[in-house]
Amino acid sequence: MDNSQVQELTEEESALLENGLIYCGVDEAGAGPLCGDVVAAAVILNPDDPIPELTDSKKLTEKKRERLFDEIREKAVDFCVASASVEEIDRLNILNARMLAMTRAVEGLRLPCDHALIDGNKLPKLNIPATALIKGDARVAAISAASVLAKVQRDRDMVAMEERFPGYGFAKHKGYGTKMHLEALEALGPCEIHRRSYAPVKRLLTKG
């Protein structure tokens, strides 16, 4: 797989750097699963210390994501991982919860940031200018880094949930609506980290 495209600066990045502006990349993970928090990350990379293998986290193996997770945390100028809870997802809807998690990630950066480059076509409410970039996680290294941090952290959170709520297989499917998960959900019923607003969970609750 050729990951070199991620290291080629987009027009948006070039313009920001030419103006001496510091920018962060922002992405989230966990919109699709039936349970658990949605997790977002904001990352400011060092342009003088690139991470060549960065690309969209979904295109990377779990082993490579884990290795990049440590490398990003070590080399990034600054980063923050934040989340929106299951309760917030059910109350606000998943889109607004995703935006909230991204807002928290950007606001959690320790260093001042002039601009945020956001994966996708929606912008969270921020106190700095921002640009939405479709497929940004495959085009902008800082967004790729954010996607890796968010994905790995959420996966680790779901592995931890396996111990708290045995029987659902969270460590294997990470909360996605697989056959294994749906069968466990049918047999055991929803647990406290299931998203009540999601159709498969809502169906079981209304059946009862």
pTM above 0.75, yes or no: yes
Residue ranges of the annotated binding site for a divalent metal cation are 27-28, 119
Segments of the chain scoring below 50 in pLDDT = 1-6
Tell me if 103 is assigned to some domain.
yes
Tell me if 101 is assigned to some domain.
yes
Tell me if 146 is assigned to some domain.
yes
Tell me if 153 is assigned to some domain.
yes
Q: What is the mean pLDDT of the chain?
A: 94
- Res 5: pLDDT: 41
Full domain range(s) for residue 158: 4-162
* Overall number of domains in the chain: 1
- Res 82: pLDDT: 98
- Res 206: pLDDT: 87
Tell me if 185 is assigned to some domain.
no
Tell me if 189 is assigned to some domain.
no
- Res 208: pLDDT: 56
* Residue range 46-101, pLDDT digits in tens: 988 999 889 888 889 999 999 999 999 999 999 999 999 999 999 999 999 999 99
| Three-state secondary structure string covering the chain | CCCHHHHCCCHHHHHHHHCCCCEEEEEEECCCCCECCEEEEEEECCCCCCCCCCCCHHHCCHHHHHHHHHHHHHHCCEEEEEEECHHHHHHHCHHHHHHHHHHHHHHCCCCCCCEEEEECCCCCCCCCCEEEECCHHHCCHHHHHHHHHHHHHHHHHHHHHHHHCCCCCHHHHCCCCCHHHHHHHHHHCCCCCECCCCHHHHHHHHHC
Question: For position 32, which CATH number holds?
Answer: 3.30.420.10
- Res 2: pLDDT: 41
Residue ranges of the annotated binding site are 27-28, 119
Tell me if 208 is assigned to some domain.
no
Tell me if 133 is assigned to some domain.
yes
